[in-house]
A and B are shown apart, each in its own frame.
Chain A
Amino acid sequence: DAKTTQPPSMDCAEGRAANLPCNHSTISGNEYVYWYRQIHSQGPQYIIHGLKNNETNEMASLIITEDRKSSTLILPHATLRDTAVYYCIVRVAMYSGGGADGLTFGKGTHLIIQP
């Protein structure tokens, strides 16, 4: 799986949009971008994933650049409960029938929502 680079920490004011960047310049054509988050002491929680088109769900939006070398996760109206470590992961999504199929977590971005 390709490596990702994220800022170690970010602050955002409550009620504002939180924009979390991720660089994945070595991403391959068959690799998806996944975002997970881990709220303190809890299990990681899936947020969103995408291949090349922008994606939106009830939690967030994912903007992927045209060259796919970077992406941004957007939490439109951040709340205090969104304080967590956010992980950007690139991964081959099509199961090939063998080998590791798990996620490789980096250090992520610690997002702190300020009241």
Chain B
Amino acid sequence: NAGVMQNPRHLVRRRGQEARLRCSPMKGHSHVYWYRQLPEEGLKFMVYLQKENIIDESGMPKERFSAEFPKEGPSILRIQQVVRGDSAAYFCASSLIPGQSSGANVLTFGAGSRLTVL
């Protein structure tokens, strides 16, 4: 039972290029979350998606960043025209739909994708 798979693990881009980060959730999980961790800082929530729906993007920068979780395939976090300040670790997490009786919703995180912008 593979965990949350993220790729690439490391990505180097020059300023102005595009970065695409992929996340395959755990089998059976239909909720995906993206977090960003800047160097020496804590994790910040970016976006929460279900299949074909963005549920909450309150943590996403207004420009250049977008996310999707299509019906088929992995979730994609896309950063257009990258700048040096985008250099960070980007973590994806997934969870089950919490049932009415479970009362708990544990997130399982991937190993992260580390973006370096030159």
Chain A residues lying within 8 Å of B58, measured Cβ to Cβ, are 100
Q: How far is the CB of A87 from chain B (nearest CB, A)?
A: 8
Besides the known contacts A101-B48, A101-B95, 8 further A-B residue pairs in the complex with CB atoms under 8 A apart: A44-B93, A44-B109, A100-B45, A100-B56, A102-B33, A102-B48, A104-B45, A105-B42
Chain B residues lying within 8 Å of A101, measured Cβ to Cβ, are 31, 33, 48, 55-56, 95, 105
A68 CB-CB contact with B under 8 Å: no
In the assembled complex, 10 residue pairs joining A and B whose CB atoms fall closer than 8 Å, in A order, are: A43-B4, A43-B109, A43-B111, A44-B93, A44-B109, A93-B103, A93-B105, A95-B98, A102-B45, A105-B43
Binary per-residue interface labels of chain B (36-49) against chain A in the complex, 1 for a CB within 8 Å, 0 otherwise: 00000011110010
Q: Contacts A94-B98, A104-B45, A107-B42 known; A45 to B109 CB distance under 8 Å?
A: yes
B91 CB-CB contact with A under 8 Å: yes
Do residues B111 and A42 form an inter-chain contact, with CB atoms below 8 A? yes
Do residues B98 and A100 form an inter-chain contact, with CB atoms below 8 A? no
Interface residues on A, range: 20 to 34
Closest A residue by C-beta to B109: A43
B104 CB-CB contact with A under 8 Å: yes
Q: Which of B71-95 contact A (CB under 8 A)?
A: 89, 91, 93, 95
Chain A residues lying within 8 Å of B105, measured Cβ to Cβ, are 93, 95, 101
A98 CB-CB contact with B under 8 Å: yes
Chain B residues lying within 8 Å of A43, measured Cβ to Cβ, are 4, 91, 93, 109-112
Do residues B97 and A95 form an inter-chain contact, with CB atoms below 8 A? yes
A99 CB-CB contact with B under 8 Å: yes
Q: How far is the CB of B42 from chain A (nearest CB, A)?
A: 5
B107 CB-CB contact with A under 8 Å: yes
Closest A residue by C-beta to B107: A103
